[in-house]
Amino acid sequence: MNKKFVVIVSALVVSISLNAQSIEFYPSNWFVQMKNKKVQVLIRATDQDFTKASVQVNYPGVKLQNVHHFSNGHYVSADLIIEETAKAGNVNFVINTQGHRINTTWVLKERRKGLGQNYAQGLSSSDLVYFLMPDRFSNGDPSNDKIAGLKDQSLNRDSIFLRHGGDLKGVENHLDYIQKLGATTLWMTPVVENDMPDRTEHGYAATNNYAIEKRFGGEKAYLTLSESLHKKGMKLVQDIVYNHFGRFHFLVQDAPDKDWLHQWPQYTQTHYREQVIFDPYHSKVDEKKMIDGWFTTEMPDVNQENPFVEKYLTQNAIWSVETFGIDAFRVDTYKYCNVEVMNRLNKALLDEYPKIFTFGECWVDGVAAQAYFVENNLNLPFKSNLKATSDFSLLFGGILPALNETNNWNNGVIKLYTTLSYDFLYKKANNNVIFLDNHDMTRIHSSLGESIPKTKMAYAWLYTCRGIPQLYYGSEILMKGISNPDGWVRLDFPGGWAGDKKNAFTEKGMSSDELDFLHYVQTLGTYRTKTAALKTGAMMQYLPEDGLYVYFRYDQDKTVMCVMNTDSKTRAVDFSKYGERTNHFNGGMDIISGNKIGTQFSIPAMTMQVIELIK
């Protein structure tokens, strides 16, 4: 062998090695023994032209079915079949393009153990969800507050819009506090990478769905948090966004084809009115603008009708469950998605994980509109398979009017009764996630005029009504905030940062009102945890009379009487009016005070009592 030939071969080997390092795979890995044996791998290299590339796969049990090319030569995709015989390991890919031969590997991993027991368990009305924003909850690892190379280098707790440094380690440090509220489940705003120039604290502008935000601690911290939750018998909900990406997502900045996004001649925003989706008289123009219009300029609308996009979103959800042990999904901006695509995506998840639970953010006008987007009893051409929704109708059309409006024929607590009466529209109303506030709206204490009696009533209702209760971090200690702008309802949890003068985790520096309210919520949580009637029992409500609203939660073992007095005067309560549920009972016990209650008693104005009946 002459020296000239040796030099040429050495140079070629170096070229192949460098090229292989530039290859990106989406999904970044997959798993053996999945029920669905097909996976579509999107291959990307910004320093290559794959326009006419050929792809070979050499691995036992992995069969290459098809190869797809795109107008953007940075991409090629490979449809694979992962056969039953395939073992975990490094799958060899050979990509031939323009005289280059690139050897690279893609990883197949073992599946998680404990399906339906340690992960993918789903949710039910036995659960209670604690919802928080990692950036604003607790800073457990200051070393990741800033990450070199990311576009947003802000760190300023004095600003309501900049990053504050909270992370997943901070959340893990305080699971005992969360569990003491009666919570069984943790839901956080999205934890995937948001490499945007600003407003990155909320997480809803993903730039890589297969990367966990490094400023939260990255993949390792997320896995550790998931494991810690499951060891404590708790569950993990992942907030996921199918409707849009962040403007700096690689699939926006360097899209495989133009039709991966909904494109318009000029910027076109959604009009946010969901009625045009189901209105029998709607125009196609209005429907298109609702679904295909962009949410904001910073959040380009994803074209879910593109089969490659649908596959990308579906596989990412499945990958997330298998990688991080997810138990359920909350889907952001669900009403803006293509509902047919969502049905297929939901089905794909359920086919792989029969217990998985998905609830959507359907911020809509009225119960009928809300029911349209979930499993329902409506006789319509489109039938949703979404398990549940965040129950905006019960918040805005029910509990808020009940506590804020003057009672008359149409207003006040009658709206709460009426809204619940429409539950016949749902297949399973008990699946709906009920709540008092969240990261987009005014906190409940502010919504109720900072009235502690009203806020206590709201929480007593939340812990006893049908559905899956959801708490928003900090509202259990009377945190205030009006959502104009939204940063005011996303303030730091006191005690989450070293040096905080007030610490709700240790109860140091808190006011007597804050302590009293926290202990009130904890008492409700403890009682709900051990009372099946509140979690899975039936519900019966009676027509309100002059602001007095009474409902029951009950099963074979226990009956709980919930008495809400929204009147301005003390009201008398007599068991004889509620004989269907109170017969055979001689009184009860107030679960907050522990005091015994007779069959006739008075309840003060703006008060709610939760009473366990006693024979």
Contact in structure between 69 and 76 (CB atoms under 8 Å): yes
Token representation of residue 58? 């050499």
> Is residue 332 annotated as part of the catalytic site, yes or no?
yes
CA distance 161 to 126: 35
Q: Of 347, 389, 343, 340, which is closest to residue 364 (Cα–Cα)?
A: 389
> Is residue 500 annotated as part of the catalytic site, yes or no?
no
Contact in structure between 613 and 582 (CB atoms under 8 Å): yes
In eight-state DSSP terms, residue 605 is: T
In eight-state DSSP terms, residue 576 is: G
Adjacent-strand bridge partners of 330: 239, 359
Integer CA distances (angstroms), 24 to 47, 107, 308, 592, in order? 11, 12, 17, 57
Interacting residues of 50 by C-beta distance below 8 A, sequence separation 6+ = 43, 69, 70, 73, 74, 75, 76, 95, 97
Locus of tokens 């990509």: 95
CA distance 35 to 38: 9
CA distance 368 to 380: 12
CA distance 591 to 327: 31
Contact in structure between 505 and 181 (CB atoms under 8 Å): no
Interacting residues of 170 by C-beta distance below 8 A, sequence separation 6+ = 134, 137, 138, 139, 140, 141, 496
Q: At what angle do helices 512-529 and 452-464 cross, to 10 degrees?
A: 10
DSSP states of 188-223 as a string? Answer: ES--EE---SS--SS--S-SEEEEE-GGGTHHHHHH
**Exposure string for 169-197, b = 16+ CB within 10 A, e = fewer:** bbbbbbbebbbebbbbbbbbbbbbbbbbe
The residue from 127, 274, 332, 567 that is catalytic is 332
Beta strand pairing status for 596-597 and 587-590?
Answer: antiparallel
Q: Of 467, 527, 531, 528, which is closest to residue 123 (Cα–Cα)?
A: 467
CA dihedral for 160, 161, 163, 169, sign (positive or negative): positive
Interacting residues of 9 by C-beta distance below 8 A, sequence separation 6+ = none
The residue from 361, 437, 514, 612 that is catalytic is 361
Contact in structure between 443 and 437 (CB atoms under 8 Å): yes
CA distance 303 to 292: 8
Cα 78–chain centre separation: 31
Write out the catalytic residue numbers: 332, 361
